[in-house]
Amino acid sequence: MQIPAVKPSDVGLRLAKIVKCAISWDEHVRNFYSVDASSYTIKPQVVAFPRNESDVIKIIKFAKRYHIPVTPRGAGTGLVGSALGRGIILDMQNFDRIKLGASHVEVGSGVFKGRLDKILKKQDRVIGPDPSIGPFCTIGGMIGTNASGIHSLKYGSVIDNIIQVRMIGSSGNVIKLPGKYNAKGMIKKIHLSDNTFPKVSKNSCGYRIDKVFAEKDLHKLIAGSEGTLGIITSAKLRTYPSPKNILLYVIHYKTLSDAARDTPKILGLGPSAVELVDSNITKHIKMTVPSSTGCLLFVEFDGTVQGRKQIHKITSGKIIKTESNAAQVKKIWSFRNSALAYSLQSITKNETMPTLIEDAVVPVKRLPLLLKILGMISKKYGLRTIVYGHAGNGNLHIRPVLKQKDLGIIKNIAVEFFSAVIGIGGSITGEHGDGLARSEFVKLQYDAKTYSIFKDIKKQFDPENILNPGKKISSYSTVTRNLKI
């Protein structure tokens, strides 16, 4: 999408005339919003802080009139540049309402997960998806990426937990899903498609039409839509009783493949989490681990799951810690949740570890094959890699460590890795989404018929392509454009 050549101050001043909320085109503010937790940078023209739906509606109508892209943003912890855009950034922090129900919560899209967790704790309840970034992401961002986390084995992703969405559409209309929305034609097309979705436990690639069987499921389409179909103002999410009687095992393996081979057997015991960190990360955690450690598996059980007693019999690794004290369990999980920070400590000043192939997911029994593919690609390109992630879901966060001067090979690595992942029945992204890193590969993931339905969906919700253009549906390559590293 071409952005009209107007000065940011012109856009800001015009916008300030029609809406009362804070608007900034200050250089520092634009710089702050030009990055997220990804490897990309794009400077917006203006940042707006709508106070309510009426502000969002006015901004959207303005953006439509002048063909300026609008990108909603939560906390900017996304890893693929999906909250970056050239036009107007909508910081949704003022959408901060929380209304508790008995087994659900209605929550504003700008609410930080940490705040919601604290309020739910008083009710002794939790929401299921729990990204490792912990309290620092927002509900809007979690829905935008179809986030999950270390307990997705038990609770699934956002798409499995979302009951209702309220959003502002591309013409400034309020859309409540499920609800009245002219989608009959769309549903028919979705049904007609023999869509070839990978059989994996989580997937944030493209639009999730595989979960839409009727109009009552239309809200699921918004999970993972990255702000391309509407600006979410609030949502209703399922809540669960806080888990009790937690038991955590830390298991040592000499190689990643040994742990990968054990994972399906461990899943048979009914754990609530099976997470992995490799030796790049174990070097930094404050726990004594054997010198031969290739990786650790963190395996958690809760409730009355009987399988926990069998773990000694079925694992080929060595259990180096068994913990049931709540504070200690929390501490051990903090080691896993800090994996990205520890990874950064494992590279030198001249090295970089771009987000790109960091979120592949495959059927769990194919994890050893995924590691084999990674080994072949690493050998071909002389790469060192850092590996951690949600082994129980077959979802590995892989960071290739590159020298700045070698960034030119990123696209080749991506094409080879993604083709192989798709070839073994996986998805190129399990939870982080497509964004700038992967949107151009969505058409590699799905067949032509499915991709054309994605395009129809985008057209129906956003005919003029003003909502976060270039994400999900992409007509040009963005994988190496705007890299900040």
Ligand X SMILES: Cc1cc2nc3c(=O)[nH]c(=O)nc-3n(C[C@H](O)[C@H](O)[C@H](O)COP(=O)(O)OP(=O)(O)OC[C@H]3O[C@@H](n4cnc5c(N)ncnc54)[C@H](O)[C@@H]3O)c2cc1C
Residues in contact with ligand X by CB under 6 A are 36-37, 71-79, 82-83, 92, 109, 131-133, 137-138, 140-142, 144-145, 147-149, 226-227, 231-232, 340, 431-432, 468
Smallest distance from ligand X to CB 235, Å: 9
Smallest distance from ligand X to CB 82, Å: 3
Smallest distance from ligand X to CB 166, Å: 10
| Cβ proximity to ligand X, 212 vs 377, nearer residue | 212
CA atoms within 13 A on the CB side of 61: 11
Smallest distance from ligand X to CB 91, Å: 9
> Tell me, what amino acid is at 81?
G
| Cβ proximity to ligand X, 30 vs 254, nearer residue | 30
Q: Residue 437 carries which DSSP code?
A: H
Distance CA 38, CA 117 (A): 25
| Cβ proximity to ligand X, 131 vs 169, nearer residue | 131
| Cβ proximity to ligand X, 311 vs 356, nearer residue | 356
| Cβ proximity to ligand X, 56 vs 421, nearer residue | 56
Question: Would you say 201 and 263 are in contact if contact means Cβ atoms under 8 Å apart?
Answer: no
Distance CA 161, CA 238 (A): 5
Rounded to 5 degrees, φ, ψ at 309 are -75, -20
Smallest distance from ligand X to CB 129, Å: 7
Smallest distance from ligand X to CB 209, Å: 18
Distance CA 69, CA 64 (A): 8
3-class SS of residue 322: strand
Paired with 249 in beta bridges are 299, 322
Smallest distance from ligand X to CB 449, Å: 25
Question: Which residue spans within 16-173 are E strands per DSSP?
Answer: 22-24, 46-49, 70-73, 88-91, 98-100, 104-108, 125-126, 162-168
| Cβ proximity to ligand X, 79 vs 266, nearer residue | 79
Distance CA 252, CA 395 (A): 19
Distance CA 399, CA 380 (A): 16
> Tell me, what amino acid is at 187?
I
Max CA distance (Å), the chain = 70
| Cβ proximity to ligand X, 64 vs 432, nearer residue | 432
